[in-house]
Structure 1
Amino acid sequence: MRLTGWWSRRSNPEKVELYTRWSYHLFVLLEVASTGLGVLGHTAAPLGGWLFLLVVGHSVMGGVLASRALDWTVGRRARPHRLMVAHGAASALLATGALALYRFTGPDTMETAATMVVGVLGFGIGGVVLGLSKTRHMLLLVLSAVAGTAVVCLALGMSGSEVIGFTVGVLIGGLFLAGTSGFSAWLLRAVWELDAARELQARLAVAEERLRFGRDLHDVMGRNLSVIALKSELAVQLARRGGTEAAVDQMAEVQRIARESQREVRDVVRGYREADLHTELEGARSVLAAAGITCTVLAPDVKLALPVQSALAWVVREGTTNVLRHGDARACTVTVRAEEGCAVLVIENDGADGALGSGPDARAGAASHAGAADAGSGPGSGLAGLRERLAALDGTLEAGRTGDGRFRLTARVPAGAAAAEGAPVAGAVRGADAASVTEGLSVTEGLSVTEGAAR
């Protein structure tokens, strides 16, 4: 059964952070169980009870330190210096007390002393390491604990074998928990940085696309608009001087140039809307594989018209993006086939959002999984944009959960379909179309050079 709500709707960085936090919460119980109960079971009352309470207090302090250190790791608060120092000092005092207890009460407390020394120093090192960022500082902390243990043992007059036993135990326990904590903090930081870099890359890609579109639009329209302005001014001067016939000729030329500009703008927009199906399929395979998602592409050699290939390529691009952003998929299958005179594209993955329903009502709810939840972003985005594009080819789009908990996106287009002239087709650049660019270029009353552009 799939987990829902508090787990499945979280992003991958949030899942990693939640897992890490709860792991360190369990470390509190682990220290109490392994160290506290071990001391309690091998020490006579009332000393055993007091030692147990000290270990419990140490473990709780370690849990608080871990929580605040993880907040620092992801940049939500300052480094908890004072708590790190307090936890380290408490660990050293408890370990020193356990060694003194062993030295002055006899060999019967060897197991108790070893359990307490290795336990409190190991978990203490693990908690403090979460607040460190450099590996050499982590190693220095472990070596300091080992050296301190050896110095205390020698100061208490222990034998060489006892000194070696305690120091080796602290070295092994300290290295293990320091490595565990250091890797956990590094992994959490790396996941959040990767997520931030991915968002920044997406924003930069959008900005770059806008700049490229603006540059191409300027190249197309700059010269023509300059010519229109000059010829319009010439026509005005000719009309004022009585050269009506010449003024009409100039305005006819203005009309021709304006219509040519309208066509060129449509070509620019159409160029940004076209995509290659084979390229998008290969791109989907490589992108999903890089994200750790097994992608299987089943695309036999099916002859499709160029408009159909372009529309299905946009479905592949949008569907791939949604698998990465809105699901928790481990496997994805992309299938292209011919069926009853139609080209059918199916994208299916095992990362369906548990909140989605199934059947016809799932199409609206699937927008959150498929990246079209922002209904306020206007036409041309997400599922709505894909449906516009396919509708221009008499195609359909269906999205929703299947009965086995998978998410399926199905696009169906007549194999020989061709887009109708002037039909609305969703673009790659939101809000950039011929109407918004050329609107308002009417030159004179009764002579509109952008006929139909405002539609």
Structure 2
Amino acid sequence: MRATAWWHELSGSAKFRLYSRLTFQAAIAGLVVALAMSDDSMLAVVVIIVAGIAAMLAVEAQPDFATVPGVVARPRMLPLATATLVVIWVAGGIVAHVAADESTVVSARVVGVSAALLTIFSVIAFTRHKWWILIGLSVATPPVLAAPLEAGLKGTATLLLAGVFAIALTLLTVWALGIIDELERTKEVEAQLRVAEERLRFSRDLHDVVGRGFSAVAVKSELAMALLRAGDADRAVSEMEEVRTLAVESMGQMRTLVRGYRNIDLRGEVAGARSLLSAAGCRLVVEGDAAKIPTAFHEVAAWVVREGTTNIVEHSAATTATLTLGGAGMSLRNDRPQGSIGERSGLRGLGERLAAVGATLDIAMSDDEFILEIHWENQ
């Protein structure tokens, strides 16, 4: 389903931001219900609901809660929602000053206090000078709503306490979001460092293994040319024989080096897959044992584990994966796949490897699971 796929495609940071945003909106919805039940006037209830909708829209537009940090889809929503709350707060104060009916005055004060509380939770808690704005609003609200002195003092204290709670909750949430973002960046940097480290290791091995041999070939070739020019053909032939020997040895060393990267061990790949998936936030469960795999298929099974693990990291947001090893075949399953099967070009090469040893590859994908199944046809 599209909704499920959309959720699976979100990063851990984006999911936590969405969760935080929905939590704040749910808290505001609960506050609106409580405030609306505190007054019997239908008009006041409607105005409080409108203020609640404006507050929820303000939370939706907060940059701190954006799915992509700092990028808001509707940047004008926040000023519009803030202006709506301010207008309701001012309108409540005007009605409280000019109304002659006591019940109307009380309803106007409820509306004004409601607008102030919703503004604190949805706007002020996220602003730069939040503490000064909170104090100013808390002190100004009772006079604006024409509240008696004793009730005004209680109202100021209530707004201050609510503001302290809202700001503390917001600061903790934003702090947690910062930690999640930092963890995401750390995972990306770690992956880049692993690639750079592997490249450095290969270049170092390549230099150490064949660099000296090629240097000797170059020097002896120049010496042989100089001997030929000097008329010493016998020594030149001897030097060229050594050049040929060095070239053959260097080629052998090169093959050994490359073979070290191409020949892989099944048990080592399973251990590496567990480590890599764990670093990516996915738990690998291994069922069966590598000893059950027929000897003829050990190497290709190792390639299945390597390519399957790469596939999980690159094309899913998996949290769990299951590797099953058996005498008749093996399988690798993971949850939360992303994209389509056609995007996984590495699987074509894996299918060719399997066909070369008489094995088959079956692929199945649903909204919730991706499955690689391998069967040993000759067993």
Q: TM-score range by the shorter chain?
A: 0.7 to 0.9
Mean CA deviation greater in 323-332 or 232-241: 323-332
* Of 339, 345, 351, the match for 2:330: 345
Alignment partner of 2:291: what SS? Answer: coil
Please tell me whether residue 63 in structure 1 is matched to residue 53 in structure 2: no
For 2:372, what is the secondary structure of its paired residue? strand
In structure 2, the partner of 1:429 is none
Structure 1 residue corresponding to 2:307, chosen from 291, 300, 318? 318
Unaligned runs of 5+ in 2: none
Superposition deviation, residue 151 in structure 1: 6.4
Flag structure 1 segments of 5+ consecutive residues without an equivalent.
357-365, 374-381, 417-455
> What's the offset of the Cα at 1:130?
3.6
Secondary structure of 1:329 counterpart: coil
AA aligned to 1:251 is M
> Distance between the aligned counterparts of 1:385 and 1:190, measured in 2?
39
For residue 370 of structure 2, the aligned residue among 389, 393, 407 is 407
Give the deviation of 1:59 after TM superposition: 5.0
2:69 maps to a residue whose letter is V
CA distance in 2, matches of 1:276, 1:119: 67
Work out whether residues 91 and 121 of structure 1, in 8 Å CA contact, stay in contact via their aligned partners in 2.
no
1:129 matched to 2:92: no
Residue 212 (structure 2) aligned to one of 205, 218, 223 = 223
Q: Is residue 74 of structure 1 aligned with residue 69 of structure 2?
A: yes
- Deviations 1:272-310, CA, capped at 9 Å, x for gaps: 234443343344345545655453211336166888545
Aligned to 2:260, the other structure's residue is in SS state helix
In 2, are the aligned partners of 1:122 and 1:173 still within 8 Å (CA)?
A: no
The amino acid that maps onto 2:372 is L
- What is residue 386 of structure 1 aligned with on the other side? 350
Question: Do residues 3 (structure 1) and 7 (structure 2) align?
Answer: no
Contact 2:52 2:118 in 1 (8 A): no
* Helix, strand or coil at the partner of 2:3: coil
CA shift in 2, pair 1:334/1:303, >3 Å: closer
Does the CA contact (< 8 Å) of 1:38 and 1:112 recur in 2? no
CA contact 1:72–1:131 (8 Å) conserved in 2? no
Map Cα deviations across residues 80-105 of structure 1 (whole Å, 9 max, x no partner).
Answer: 9xx77x97797577557646756886
In structure 2, C-alpha distance between the alignment counterparts of 1:220 and 1:31, rounded to whole Å? 70
Q: Following the alignment from structure 1 to structure 2, what is the Cα–Cα distance between the partners of residues 350 and 56?
A: 42
Query: Which residue matches 2:109?
Result: 113
What aligned pairs does 1:36-435 form with structure 2 within 5 A after superposition? 42=41, 48=44, 52=47, 56=50, 60=54, 63=57, 66-67=60-61, 69-70=63-64, 74-76=69-71, 95=89, 98=92, 106=102, 110=106, 113-114=109-110, 116-131=112-127, 140=131, 145=134, 148-149=137-138, 152-153=141-142, 158=148, 160=150, 163-164=153-154, 166-167=155-156, 169-171=158-160, 173-175=162-164, 177-178=166-167, 181-182=170-171, 185-285=174-274, 287-289=276-278, 293-300=282-289, 302=291, 308-339=297-328, 344-353=329-338, 356=340, 366-368=341-343, 372-373=344-345, 382-387=346-351, 389-390=353-354, 393-401=357-365, 406-412=369-375
Distance of 1:385 and 1:247 partners within structure 2:
48
* Aligned partner of residue 327 in structure 2, secondary structure: strand
Query: RMSD in angstroms over aligned alpha carbons?
Result: 4.7
3-state SS of the aligned residue for 1:335?
A: strand
Alpha carbons of structure 1 residues 72 and 412: separation in structure 2 relative to 1, 3 Å: closer
Q: Matches of 2:35 and 2:263 in 1, distance apart?
A: 67
Which is helix-richer, 1 or 2?
A: 2
Instruction: Return the TM-score normalized by structure 1.
Output: 0.63
Question: 2:266 and 2:374 mapped to 1: Cα distance?
Answer: 13
- 1:14 deviates by 4.8
Q: Cα distance, 1:55 vs. partner?
A: 7.4
User: Residue 228 of structure 1: CA displacement?
Assistant: 0.5
Q: Write out per-residue CA displacement over residues 213-251 of structure 1, whole angstroms, 9 at most, x where no aligned residue.
A: 111101112211111011111211222233323322221
Cα distance change on mapping 1:297 and 1:147 into 2, 3 Å = same
Aligned partners of 1:295 and 1:396: how far apart in 2? 23
8 A Cα contact 2:319 2:335, kept in partner:
yes
